[in-house]
Structure 1
Amino acid sequence: MTDDTRHSSAAAPPDGTAPPPGVAAPFTALLIAVLSFSLMQTMVVPALPDLQREFDAGTTGISWVISSFLLTASVATALLGRVGDMFGKRRVLLASLTVFAAGTLLCAVSDSLGLLIAARAVQGVGSAAFPLAFGIVREQFPRERVPVAIGMISSTFGIGFGVGLVLPGPIVEALNWHWIFWLGLIVIVAGILAVAAFVEESPDRSPGRIDWIGAVLLSGAIVALLLAISQGKSWGWGSAGVVSLCAAAVVLGAAFVAAERRIREPMIDIDLLRRPAVATSHVAALIIGFGMYGAFTLVPLLAQTPTRAGYGFGASVTEAGLFMVPMAATMLFASPLAGRLGAAIGWKAPLVLACLTGLLGFAVYAAGHDSEWAMYTGSGVLGIGVGFAFAALANLVVSAVDPRQVGEATGINTIMRTIGGSLGAQISASIVASGTVAGTALPAESGYTTAFVMSAAALGVAALAALAGPGSLRPRRAAG
């Protein structure tokens, strides 16, 4: 390929620890861009109680601060990944980051809940940073550097997610919730400037026209499904609204598949999704998301539970966020390590290892959540699993498709992980809220134990799904 040839002169260091000089600047720019989005996913979560008090909102109303972001992020991931393949990934990345920055600015100046919810919906457009960044790496980086680079970019998703739960505590305590968005805006602007300065536009294109019919049908299916998931707890999982939304998601999804098979230039190549490696990664992403995302919300909540409940540590928002630090720290080295391991032996083994490591982390949570050291240990172990999973999933998809289809394929993989994560987080929260400590409104300890065991079981199923996929667990033999 043209880009591989163009960069082949950038020789890799023998130890594989750093990108070549010609790649370091654009790689750093992409890291800043994706970090800005991953931080904004969760930085608002610790501030929800403050927002609820300030706007005098109910639980359902305040939940839309999260739901609106999630809905537009899922739609943007699918649509803009494909648009980037068609019109240039750098151009579309800059456009999505600019809209993301505008939404963040609007969040920072919001003085009503309605405006904040609308601004969060605008912010969701920044989700396209991930599939577009993967595509840029695949097209423009030396081939031997692609797995590690994708692993590190993938880990940024989890790192930003975890750090986003730690930073808001001291920010809100020292200033106010508006500063969460002002500081986030600084990172976004830095990402825009870095991408504009150091990332080149790729000559690779997947020509065609925007499939508006497919975009509407897929967006409708995703919105209906995620809306049902996000509102299941407050509306009731068996309520007419949730059941109707799930039915609409199925109908719209079926209509989307039927339409894409008839359109000459579809938004998503359905045959692409049927490739064994791609299909395996999507199924695994769904189950891994379901299993792993519960930790991001349950661990801080458990840590904040007053000790009078008979468990918990009575931690402040800031102290509770510290329980996530080991996870972010281990992800820093786990994802690049997974990239090197996968490049050497294939991606099946790192994905299976990711699931089993995550299972172990949740087992530690379930068995030892009455001690702080066990919670820190569980977070560190789980971080290794998350880092391996994100790197393996992204590289499985990227290595299985044509460079012109990277945005399209990785966008769907991100959506699958988001859907699984949303479902897992909501079900975990429902399990925890299903019982209370006698004489209080505090959740019973058994709810956390059950939720952690459920996540461990889900990752066991994900390991089986990964094992069923193509490839071997054995290292590839060197030629000749």
Structure 2
Amino acid sequence: MTQAPAEPAVKDPDSRAKPGVMVAVLAFSGIVIASMQTLVIPVIPQLPTLLDAAPADTAWAVTATLLAATIVTPIVGRLADMYGKRRMLLGSLALMVIGSVIAALATSLAPLIAARVLQGLASGVIPLGISIMRDELPKERLGAATATMSSSLGVGAAFGMPAAALIADKADWHVLFWTSAGLGVIALALVAVVIPASKMHPGGRFDLIGATGLSAALVCLLLAISKGSDWGWSSGLALGLFSAAAVLLAAWGVFELRTGEPMVDLRTAARRPVLLTNLAAAAFGFAMFSIQLALPQLLQTPEATGYGLGKSMLVAGLAMAPQGLVMFFVAKPSAKISARYGAKVTLLLGALTVAVGYVIGVFLMAEIWQLILVSAIIGAGIGMAYGAIPTLIMGNVPASETAAANSLNVLIRGFGTTIASAIAGLILAGVTMTLGGHELPSQDAFRIVLGIGAAAALVAGALAALLPRQKPGVHAHH
């Protein structure tokens, strides 16, 4: 096994930042990346006019980021374990800044899509941050720090949308990307100054065949899921992509089990605690995205329907902000629950909380405060779960595979959100009512989406209940 070159080190080991400062910098970086993923949403309806392109083509401004993120997350995780997590973190943030600048200068669709691909390549920041925390923080600080880093995903998404809506409403749309670039530069500088070089990066041979095979399979699968409703689920293209994904994944799995230094250690991933935690993460990803799709659309549905609230996109975005705040503030309490009773208990409590929130939402959707309450309850449950999931993963994988295991978990959670988007989109487009000659999602459509969100949370809870009993606290597997 070859030894990886040393990462650029900090000046003096004794000059390392305090744990609280490191956590703040990593969480800020996570928020920047999460907000980047949603900042284009407010201008999607206007992109065909702004860029003189067809709506089906401008939708790639979102799809391209999703595909890039899916491909790069497991690859960056593996490279981080081999060659240094700080190095990969700096590289990811640099790609986000470059992509933001290209998007800020774009006047046509092609460069914008290229820029969104580069931004998507930065999506490994949150699992990288959690992995760095495992290397650098004392054990007693790790649980709360992990929960805080995980919550940055919700905080960034919750605040990114209203902020983007406000900027898009008051200024040229390019300002969105200049803002993203500026925040990325700040995060890049803070990481360079505060975060120390990784202590553990044993090197090794990168599994190029495994990375290529996994990437090809994921692209086929995600394209089929995200575009299936547009193409037709029974169309030759959709069925062909699903078939190609199945064949590629099967071949990839056989290869990974036979190679000496695999891209993903499938034997570790198949351990009962890791497998169940990853499946629960997918269910939580589905549950989290269901409310993020349904609530803004319900808020913006015209009041003339009798159930819509007729609010602007800015108000709809602001109504989502409390969810992000709640996710952030439950990080420490959920870490204390994990420390005392074990992360399994925290995950189960999170699932039940999300399910309760969705059930309340089925009946309370007439006033804006009701929707904010429902969103906040769901956010509390998601926050608990997202803090517990990395703890469960890190407690059952070797320290040398931390970044790869966390990245795989984020990838699987992303599948949950993608499937939620496809299913919710089908329901909201298919269960409709007519107003002024326009088809709009009916109240039953929103209730069905919320009900499915509750079901996903209950599935996550059942998976959590099947996890083996775990001693309280964070105990890394070696």
Deviation at 1:475, TM superposition (A): 6.7
For residues 116 and 295 of structure 1, the distance between their equivalents in structure 2, rounded to whole angstroms, comes to 28
Letter in 2 for 1:65: A
Match of 2:447 in 1: 449
Match of 1:161 in 2: 157
Letter in 2 for 1:453: G
Letter in 2 for 1:465: L
Letter in 2 for 1:435: V
Determine which of 228, 235, 242 is the counterpart of 2:231: 235
For residues 382 and 340 of structure 1, the distance between their equivalents in structure 2, rounded to whole angstroms, comes to 20
Matched, 1:181 2:174: no
Determine which of 77, 85, 99 is the counterpart of 2:73: 77
TM-score w.r.t. the length of structure 2 is 0.93
Matched, 1:107 2:103: yes
Match of 2:465 in 1: 467
Give ranges in structure 2 of 5+ residues lacking alignment.
1-12, 474-478
CA offset digits 1:177-209 (Å, max 9, x no partner): 211111111111111100100111122123311
Matches within 5 A, 1:364-379: 364-379=360-375
Letter in 1 for 2:456: A
Deviation at 1:427, TM superposition (A): 0.7
Matches within 5 A, 1:317-336: 317-336=313-332
CA contact (8 A) 1:355 1:389 kept: yes
Determine which of 97, 116, 119 is the counterpart of 2:93: 97
Match of 1:130 in 2: 126
Letter in 2 for 1:276: R
CA contact (8 A) 2:287 2:420 kept: yes
Matched, 1:315 2:345: no
Determine which of 348, 351, 354 is the counterpart of 2:350: 354
Deviation at 1:55, TM superposition (A): 2.4
Q: How many equivalent residue pairs?
A: 458
Match of 1:392 in 2: 388
Q: Which piece of structure 1 moves more, 176-185 or 65-74?
A: 176-185
Deviation at 1:161, TM superposition (A): 1.2
Alignment RMSD (CA, Å): 1.7
For residues 306 and 58 of structure 1, the distance between their equivalents in structure 2, rounded to whole angstroms, comes to 26
For residues 296 and 144 of structure 2, the distance between their equivalents in structure 1, rounded to whole angstroms, comes to 30
Letter in 2 for 1:159: V
CA offset digits 1:61-96 (Å, max 9, x no partner): 222111100011111110010100000110111111
Deviation at 1:333, TM superposition (A): 1.1
Letter in 2 for 1:444: S
Letter in 2 for 1:456: A
CA contact (8 A) 1:298 1:429 kept: no
Deviation at 1:277, TM superposition (A): 1.5
CA contact (8 A) 1:288 1:462 kept: yes
For residues 307 and 344 of structure 1, the distance between their equivalents in structure 2, rounded to whole angstroms, comes to 48
Matches within 5 A, 1:42-441: 42-438=38-434, 439-441=437-439
Give ranges in structure 1 of 5+ residues lacking alignment.
1-8, 11-19
Aligned-pair identity (%): 34
For residues 298 and 51 of structure 1, the distance between their equivalents in structure 2, rounded to whole angstroms, comes to 22
CA contact (8 A) 1:348 1:471 kept: yes
Deviation at 1:395, TM superposition (A): 1.3
For residues 363 and 59 of structure 2, the distance between their equivalents in structure 1, rounded to whole angstroms, comes to 31
CA contact (8 A) 2:293 2:424 kept: no
CA offset digits 1:246-289 (Å, max 9, x no partner): 11111111111111111111111111101222111111011111
Match of 1:17 in 2: none
Deviation at 1:458, TM superposition (A): 1.3
SS at match of 1:60: helix
When residues 475 and 73 of structure 1 are mapped into structure 2, their CA distance, relative to the original with a 3 A threshold, is: closer
